[in-house]
Structure 1
């Protein structure tokens, strides 16, 4: 919104400057190429102002849609003047990430599952099956006595089966489980390295963005002061419209760099919170830890 307003101000300056330059040209005090240069600057300002207005309306509608607001709602965006500055210890960030993120718990779970598969394969190297059965049957000397006065006959069956030869199947199953365990250990070790590097990179990137934000903010303030002075000198006739246009472009460029640095800084700030589930600014966890019930 500020950019759009500044472009409108520059457009007014361009129109005013063009009128002055035409008057000077008619009096023979300036050249035609300078007049055309100012006219071209005015047309460029019109195009930029029209495009900035379209971008402003499009962004406003998208923001209202995301916030669930009515299209007629008025939104005024103000860039924050202050931002949090705090140190982040890399080792502490990595430790918190291992403690609080589900991915870190998955590393241990996968290694335990691989160990369980090896233990299961070891237990199946010598399979022995023991079966037992017990039953009662009616017995008699004639068919009729079976249903009239039978004698109970108990039957007990006990069977034991031991494999004599498995053609190397148990050995192959054991080798496969051990090879899978080594593969899981290698994959987990590599993922742990990538996990730590991700946290390390995010912390260092956050520190770098903090420094860049400080420099870009100072540059934007200096460029704004220079532009304000140039406007006053232009109004008194000590600065040409061309020079004012250059100063204004430098000021807008510095402002865009500052806003971009501010956006990157806040994104890095919340990415760091997401990766560690910890707020380094306040020194608090972003979740409520579960409390074990000690009652009998």
Structure 2
């Protein structure tokens, strides 16, 4: 009676679930494609790339001419200011005037010298509002200004070396992170696949256990098996039911995680499919390392950090003496009338050389240079160690990947043999030629072999995409993994 109730409840529960949920078959390739398109991790990677893209655009814009318009329209003042008389005494004079100014400037940085070149034109107007009333105009039709640091650090030149490497690193990191999104999808997918296989195993084991227990009860009634064997089979039924219930819970948990990661609605029941084929072939360490050092964000990260360490040393050295040349040449004019402010014009020339050279700083600036040099040596040592670790990790990964294809083949064959052995033992037990211990052992081996096969498949796909993430190379297409960055930034 209990068995009938259990079966009826299971059928009703399955019917209700089938009405409430839509079953969707999902392949691994589909899961990876959805993850790259819809997952939160993919969105984060894309936003990080956008940030790097606009930072690079800002850097490129700094190298181009910049046009500015500055104006004060108007500036009105009515106040008193101190004024020194000829005898040395002071008095206060009243100011009551209206002033307007306007200036257009074009500024261009000179990256190869580190200076700035400006082209300016401006017009000033002042009207005295107190008696006697008057108006004055002053024009600077054109003025060219050069501001050039001498012996200092050329920041623009260093930025031209560092920023392209930084942007290339960001693009490579984005592609690598999209492959890491695929690796996360693979992890969730195979967790669900393993849970689904575990449910099927538990369901099959429960059915077989109940069938064998019914046969054993009949045999016990005829005295063909012992009471101990009958009790063992009954325990097997209870264990199978407990395992089935637990596997259903694990299935729901793993399905929720995959649906959440892929952004799929909760009313969709995912049915993962075991991949029929595995990609890739035999790889060589030298080829993988070469592609990783050529394409990966790791190599660009090493280059950027080396440049930044050199830049810090250059800045410390440049601060030891500061000399700046300021020169301006142009024309100016002033008059009571607007037209007279432009005719005739007068020369307007300014040449200024300023310097700041420490005579006694107790070794402070030299100490900063030594600190920067020491930091650079530390960075270089770390970069060498990271490069060695990276090469070692590549070697281990290539060896594991090349070995994994054989592991998958072995696990697949072991799964087939274990299933056949278990089916044979079930039939043999039915005729009473093997013990329950042998039957239980074959069931355990069958379950372990199936789980091992799914696990070896997972490792193969995970290693494959890990290699793609490190080398940014598609081994199926024999081409670099690339993305249309400009399209993504639109």
Fold in common (TM above 0.5):
yes
How far apart in 2 are the matches of 1:210 and 1:157? 75
Q: Give the C-alpha shift of residue 238 in structure 1.
A: 4.3
Secondary structure of 1:23's counterpart equals helix
Structure with more strand by fraction: 2
Secondary structure of 2:270's counterpart equals coil
Give yes or no for contact 1:17–1:241 (8 Å, CA) kept in 2.
no
Secondary structure of 1:75's counterpart equals strand
276-285 or 237-246, which moves further after superposition? 237-246
Give yes or no for contact 1:127–1:163 (8 Å, CA) kept in 2.
no
* Structure 1: tracts of 5 or more residues without a match: 134-155, 292-296
Name the structure 1 match of 2:482: 287
Which of residues 247, 270, 287 is equivalent to 1:92?
Answer: 287
Name the structure 2 match of 1:274: 469
Which of residues 95, 111, 116 is equivalent to 2:311?
Answer: 116
Structure 1 residues 237, 103: CA separation in 2 closer, same or farther (over 3 Å shift)? same
Structure 1 residues 188, 61: CA separation in 2 closer, same or farther (over 3 Å shift)? closer
Name the structure 1 match of 2:223: 28
Which of residues 80, 91, 116 is equivalent to 2:275?
Answer: 80
Give yes or no for contact 1:14–1:241 (8 Å, CA) kept in 2.
no
Structure with more helix by fraction: 1
Secondary structure of 2:377's counterpart equals helix
Secondary structure of 1:96's counterpart equals helix
* 2:422 paired with 1:224: no
* 2:373 paired with 1:185: no
Give yes or no for contact 1:85–1:210 (8 Å, CA) kept in 2.
no
Give yes or no for contact 2:280–2:475 (8 Å, CA) kept in 1.
no
Give yes or no for contact 2:323–2:354 (8 Å, CA) kept in 1.
yes
* 2:214 paired with 1:19: yes
Name the structure 2 match of 1:138: none
Which of residues 56, 59, 69 is equivalent to 2:251?
Answer: 56
Which of residues 243, 254, 258 is equivalent to 2:449?
Answer: 254
Name the structure 2 match of 1:104: 299
Give yes or no for contact 2:316–2:368 (8 Å, CA) kept in 1.
yes
Structure 1 residues 214, 166: CA separation in 2 closer, same or farther (over 3 Å shift)? same
Secondary structure of 1:88's counterpart equals coil
**RMSD of aligned alpha carbons:** 3.3
Give yes or no for contact 2:310–2:376 (8 Å, CA) kept in 1.
yes
Give yes or no for contact 1:220–1:254 (8 Å, CA) kept in 2.
yes
How far apart in 1 are the matches of 2:361 and 2:287? 53
Q: Give the C-alpha shift of residue 128 in structure 1.
A: 5.1
Q: How many residue pairs get matched?
A: 271
TM-score (normalised: structure 2):
0.49
- Alignment deviations for residues 133-176 of structure 1 (CA, whole Å, 9 cap, x no partner): 9xxxxxxxxxxxxxxxxxxxxxx997876654443334323322
Structure 1 residues 80, 228: CA separation in 2 closer, same or farther (over 3 Å shift)? farther
Secondary structure of 2:477's counterpart equals coil
Secondary structure of 1:28's counterpart equals coil
Structure 1 residues 131, 166: CA separation in 2 closer, same or farther (over 3 Å shift)? farther
Structure 1 residues 12, 239: CA separation in 2 closer, same or farther (over 3 Å shift)? farther
* 2:240 paired with 1:45: yes
* 2:205 paired with 1:10: yes
* Structure 2: tracts of 5 or more residues without a match: 1-195, 329-349
TM-score (normalised: structure 1):
0.77
Give yes or no for contact 1:220–1:258 (8 Å, CA) kept in 2.
yes
* 2:397 paired with 1:202: yes
